[in-house]
């Protein structure tokens, strides 16, 4: 068997044999890696006969069985249909408003241009398909919020309010957005609120969810939806008062204990709710009906996942369930749902509370004067053992894991332990899973941040638990996914932000910018060997921020606190401390120089950490970025970072809570000073743009 035939199969499967790494060096994937990844795609490649058989499988998949269920095109552009239909074929085109248009394809078998974005039902001969017509661009920040927009970002789980029971919730979020809006913020970006596993009490990274279609019910605030009286009665009847107060006093979230108490409380509230006579029953019924098959599948998965435990009583991956339960459409699953109807309804109840809480928070943000409101965060993938992978098996690749190749930030690469969409599975199913995911994350927000937006074009994949250095890029139907993203953003009137950090394909940023998707420029990354970009050099096609959840806040970076942590957790050896400190002093001097020049101070004078954070807030305001997002950690001048990638046991990832009630968190002298300077700088930017 020749490498040429293996490469032919790999390329037909959408794998990139050759790629350029973060050091701009040409790389080629080893044949052994290609075979392993192809096997995970269901394409055996151990022999020449295997490859021939796999090529036939691919040909069938790529043929869609004929006419695909969905095609995309741009507004005002003709749609090429020659692959499927002869020229001059008669067609009927039905819009979402019920309007019908009759006509014929032209001599090149093109559908005439459509002027209004939306989803259209196209009928030609005996075939019916959906045509998704996309606007040229997502709504821009300027269109939604004008010039000079700014906002904050927050880790939702870290918010506090009296009576929260030890975890941030939508009621605390509601309070925070009003406080931020009062200081002039246009937006509040929050950490992902994706659904986790109810049966896995110790799995809580918001970027490793069970499903990106639904919500983490632990963040629900039942009192804000059902009323405080039913909540107090449930707490009392469960005997949870003292435990909730204990959890609330902790500096770090005790996720297993919080999960147990929240679930116990939600179950009691549900039991009380379903006794009948509740005025909100109709709203719950409407919510459940509108959730359709996707919501029902998620709730069934949660019930099954808790029920189908192994001999030791531990929850199992759905691939380890009895065969009858691995298919969500099987009679066995249907029978289970009937027999455990109350359990399935309980999980729908939690989703209802969470959805209504997010809706309240976004409405509060807009009502308080935010021009964008909440910005949701879309994780790059979901756990291959979760409800989304179980529900949409034809559209997700549960046996492959997504990550990143070795790059400047992480020389060992990263395996994130999450699954990706299947490129041909998406096409074969009319991009159903992708569209429903976009809608779910835009439902209660004025914007959406896409984690690792590079994944729309390609993802670094490897067999589950494999060394990330033994991976390969899998390419996706980029143009189609980009059009669908633009269409859904247009329908929801939402801005789209793309986290475009890492190993970036050439030209990708320009393509995203042309589609109105803002990139992301991080103050601490905008440098080369300690030479930092000045404010005026920042891109007008990207948002500007000081830091991210995966790197330290500015005060921690300035003081080298993150170096101490990396030594503590073993990422850096103690003998390298002096070298790390020396490198940081060099970088700090460079940042100090641009911050001082921007604020009119003497660049020879080293700012204190507090002064540097002040100056950075003002500095970002002076950039031409259409949107500035300041993390609350930097608004408060905190040192600790939310997450240390690659570290699980020795750093409290996703557990830190903010030092104060959400209602007054931003009222301190330092945070008020920073936010006022940022707001004033953005007002000046707005005024300059109008002159």
Q: What are the tens digits of pLDDT across the range 337-376?
A: 999 999 999 999 999 999 999 999 999 999 999 999 999 9
- Residues 305-312: what's their mean pLDDT? 94
Handedness of CA 306, 308, 309, 315 (dihedral sign): negative
pLDDT at 687 over 90: no
With CA atoms as reference, report the closest residue to 269 among 306, 307, 242, 238. Answer: 238
Mean pLDDT of the chain: 94
- Residues 130-152: what's their mean pLDDT? 97
Secondary structure of the chain: what % helix, strand, coil (to 5)?
45, 20, 40
Report the pLDDT value the prediction gives residue 65, as an integer from 0 to 100: 56
pLDDT band, very low/low/confident/very high, at 64 (cuts 50, 70, 90): low
d(CA 41, CA 44): 8
d(CA 263, CA 217): 9
pLDDT at 407 over 80: no
Tell me the percentage of the chain whose pLDDT exceeds 90.
87
pLDDT at 2 over 80: no
DSSP 573: -
pLDDT at 408 over 60: yes
- Half-sphere exposure (CA, 13 Å, Cβ side) for 350? 30
Helix, strand, or coil here: 251?
coil
Q: Which of 75-79, 168-172, 421-425 has the lowest mean pLDDT?
A: 421-425
Report the pLDDT value the prediction gives residue 152, as an integer from 0 to 100: 98
Distant-in-sequence, close-in-space partners of 157: CB < 8 Å, separation ≥ 6: 167, 168, 191, 204, 206, 219, 253, 654, 657
Report the pLDDT value the prediction gives residue 217, as an integer from 0 to 100: 98
Report the pLDDT value the prediction gives residue 594, as an integer from 0 to 100: 98
d(CA 49, CA 55): 10
Using the CB atoms, write b or e for 87-113: b if 16+ within 10 Å.
eebebebeeeeeeeeeeebeeebbbee
Helix, strand, or coil here: 136?
coil
The answer to whether 162 and 661 have CB atoms below 8 angstroms apart is yes
Report the pLDDT value the prediction gives residue 409, as an integer from 0 to 100: 66
Handedness of CA 212, 217, 221, 227 (dihedral sign): positive
d(CA 500, CA 41): 27
The answer to whether 516 and 483 have CB atoms below 8 angstroms apart is no
pLDDT at 301 over 70: yes
- Residues 404-431: what's their mean pLDDT? 86
pLDDT at 398 over 90: no
pLDDT at 232 over 80: yes
pLDDT at 1 over 80: no
The answer to whether 318 and 332 have CB atoms below 8 angstroms apart is no
Distant-in-sequence, close-in-space partners of 569: CB < 8 Å, separation ≥ 6: 644, 647, 650, 651
Report the pLDDT value the prediction gives residue 23, as an integer from 0 to 100: 79
């Amino acid at each position: 068997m020749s490498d040429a035939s293996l490469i032919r199969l790999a390329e037909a499967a959408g794998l990139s044999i050759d790629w350029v790494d973060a050091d701009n060096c040409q790389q080629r994937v080893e044949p052994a890696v290609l075979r392993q990844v192809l096997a995970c795609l269901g394409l055996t490649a151990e022999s020449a006969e295997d490859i021939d058989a796999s090529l036939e499988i691919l040909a069938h998949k790529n043929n869609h069985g004929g006419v695909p269920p969905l095609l995309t095109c741009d507004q005002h552009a003709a749609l090429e249909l020659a692959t499927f239909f002869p020229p001059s074929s008669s067609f009927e085109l039905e819009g979402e408003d019920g309007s019908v248009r009759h006509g014929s394809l032209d001599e090149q078998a093109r559908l005439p241009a459509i002027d209004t974005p939306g989803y259209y039902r196209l009928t030609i001969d005996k075939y019916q398909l959906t045509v998704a017509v996309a606007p040229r661009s997502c709504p821009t920040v300027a269109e939604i919020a004008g010039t000079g927009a700014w906002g904050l970002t927050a880790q939702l789980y870290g918010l506090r309010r009296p009576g929260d029971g030890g975890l941030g919730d939508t009621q605390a979020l509601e309070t925070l957005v009003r406080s931020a809006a009062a200081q002039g913020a246009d937006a509040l970006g929050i950490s992902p609120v994706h659904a986790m596993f109810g049966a896995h009490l110790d799995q809580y990274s918001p970027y490793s969810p069970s499903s990106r279609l639904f919500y983490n019910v632990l963040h629900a605030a039942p009192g804000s939806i059902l009323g405080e009286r039913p909540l107090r009665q449930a707490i009392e009847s469960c005997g949870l008062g003292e435990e909730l107060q204990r959890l609330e006093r902790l500096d770090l979230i005790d996720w297993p204990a919080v999960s147990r108490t929240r679930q116990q409380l939600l179950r009691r509230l549900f039991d009380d709710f379903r006794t009948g006579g509740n005025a909100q029953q109709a709203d719950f019924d409407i919510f459940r009906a509108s959730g359709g098959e996707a919501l029902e599948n998620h709730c069934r998965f949660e019930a099954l996942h808790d029920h189908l435990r192994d001999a030791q009583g531990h929850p199992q991956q759905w691939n380890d369930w009895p065969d009858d339960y691995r298919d969500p459409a099987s009679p066995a699953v249907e029978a289970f749902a009937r027999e455990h109807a109350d359990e399935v309804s309980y999980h729908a109840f939690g989703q209802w509370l969470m959805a209504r809480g997010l809706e309240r928070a976004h409405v509060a943000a807009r009502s308080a004067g935010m021009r964008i409101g909440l910005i949701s965060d879309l994780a790059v993938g979901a756990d291959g053992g979760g409800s989304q992978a179980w529900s949409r098996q034809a559209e997700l690749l549960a046996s492959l894991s997504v990550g990143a190749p070795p790059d400047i930030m992480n020389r060992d690469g990263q395996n994130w332990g999450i699954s990706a969409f299947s490129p041909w599975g998406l096409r074969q199913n009319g991009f159903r899973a992708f569209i429903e995911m976009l809608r779910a994350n835009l439902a209660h927000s004025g914007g959406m941040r896409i984690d690792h937006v590079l994944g729309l074009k390609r993802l670094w994949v490897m067999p589950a638990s494999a060394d990330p250095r033994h991976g390969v890029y899998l390419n996706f139907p980029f143009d189609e996914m980009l059009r669908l993203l633009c269409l859904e953003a247009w329908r929801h009137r939402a801005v789209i932000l793309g986290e475009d950090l890492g190993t970036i394909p050439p030209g990708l940023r320009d393509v995203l910018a042309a589609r109105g998707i803002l990139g992301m420029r991080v103050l601490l990354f905008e440098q080369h060997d300690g030479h930092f970009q000045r404010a005026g050099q920042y891109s007008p096609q990207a948002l500007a921020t000081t830091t991210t959840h995966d790197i330290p806040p500015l005060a921690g970076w300035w003081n080298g606190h993150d170096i101490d942590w990396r030594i503590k957790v073993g990422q850096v050896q103690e003998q390298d401390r002096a070298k790390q400190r020396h490198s940081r002093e060099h970088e700090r001097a460079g940042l100090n120089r641009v911050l001082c020049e921007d604020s009119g101070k003497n660049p020879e004078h080293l700012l204190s950490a507090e002064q540097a954070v002040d100056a950075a807030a003002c500095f970002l305001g002076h950039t031409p970025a259409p949107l500035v997002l300041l993390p609350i950690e930097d608004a408060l001048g905190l040192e600790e970072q939310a997450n240390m990638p690659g570290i699980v046991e020795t750093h409290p990832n996703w557990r830190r809570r903010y030092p104060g009630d959400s209602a007054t968190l931003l009222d301190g002298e330092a945070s008020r000073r920073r936010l006022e300077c940022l707001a004033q700088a953005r007002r000046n930017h707005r005024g300059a743009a109008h002159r």
